[in-house]
Amino acid sequence: MAKSLHFAFMVTVLILLLVAAGPGIQIGAAKLCERRSTTWSGVCTDSNKCNDQCRNWEHATHGACHFQFPGFACFCYFNC
């Protein structure tokens, strides 16, 4: 009886620790830094084209269109 109670307590503590850590856990993931594209001109309406431009011209990991007042701009993502 005491062993099963001890085991249940340890499992509960482990679950609580994992929940408390939440999204702060990064396992082997590189941090990405966002920067507005320096080679894109005009409004960004196609994230696939933005992604291609960021990867091919600016050597970024990827790119995407995001809102930035007064419209949408192409943002590139680099490993920090």
Break the chain into its structural domains and give their ranges: 31-80
Predicted confidence (pLDDT) at residue 68 exceeds the cutoff of 70: yes
Per-residue pLDDT, averaged over 48-61, amounts to: 96
The pLDDT, as a whole number, for residue 9 is 63
Q: Which residues partner with 22 through β-bridges?
A: none
Residue 8, classed as helix, strand or coil, is helix
The pLDDT, as a whole number, for residue 30 is 73
CATH classification code of 31-80: 3.30.30.10
pLDDT tens digit string along 18-44? Answer: 545 555 444 556 788 999 999 999 999
User: Is pLDDT larger for residue 60 or for residue 3?
Assistant: 60
Whether the model pTM is above 0.85: no
Backbone angles phi, psi at 35, to 5 degrees: -150, 135
Predicted confidence (pLDDT) at residue 10 exceeds the cutoff of 50: yes
